[in-house]
Amino acid sequence: METTLIILKPDAVQRGLMGAIISRFEQKGLQIVGAKLTQISPQLAATHYESHKGKPFYDGLVKFMTSSPVLVLAVRGIGAITIARGMMGATFGSKAAPGTIRGDFGVSNSFNLIHGSDSPEAAERELRLFFAAGEVIGWPRHGDAWVYDHSGGKPE
């Protein structure tokens, strides 16, 4: 099982898309194990996006991410990082395929609705930035027997 960070960005929150986006993850079979509506501080945005510091879009990105509340999620499942990133679609809504979150809900080449960790290492780092100890809660879902095939002795 992997746990990944998902951020529903200010444009998703302001457009009232939180429920529709969360539903997609749950319908796919991923488990929401943490959720928090929060206002990102400039310091937290700078830390989160430190790998982009110095790039032309960095200042605008920090300003955008601190402009309105965001919904941060901890999402868990087998292959959750790859699955979530596939569901998100290409970075820009204008280029994202229909059926993806960005492809269905976005057209902007600036506002792109959602962030998802791109690796297990990034997920671990990012989850620690947004969730304190005890805020990500693992809990057994009885429906997982219908999400993952357990016939071989382990879920797949």
Active site residues: 115
pLDDT at 39: 98
Query: Domain ranges in the chain?
Result: 2-146
Three-state SS sequence of the chain: CEEEEEEECHHHHHCCCHHHHHHHHHHHCCEEEEEEEECCCHHHHHHHCHHHCCCCCHHHHHHHHCCCCEEEEEEEECCHHHHHHHHHCCCCCCCCCCCCHHHHHCCCCCCCCEEECCCHHHHHHHHHHHCCCCCCCCCCCHHHHHCCCCCCCCCC
Lookup: tokens for 145? 């027997």
> What is the rounded CA–CA span in Å between residue 74 and residue 137?
9
List the structure tokens of 32: 């929401």
Task: Kindly give, in sequence order, each residue whose CB lies less than 8 Å from that of residue 12, ignoring residues fewer than 6 positions away.
Answer: 18, 21, 71, 105, 113, 114
Supply the pLDDT for residue 34: 98
pLDDT attached to residue 12: 98
Q: What pLDDT, on the 0 to 100 scale, is given for residue 153?
A: 84
pLDDT at 155: 84
pLDDT, one tens digit for every residue, the chain (156 residues):
999 999 999 999 999 999 999 999 999 999 999 999 999 999 999 999 999 999 999 999 999 999 999 999 999 999 999 999 999 999 999 999 999 999 999 999 889 999 999 999 999 999 999 999 999 998 899 889 899 998 888 888
pLDDT value of residue 109: 87
| Class at the top of the CATH hierarchy for domain 2-146 | alpha beta
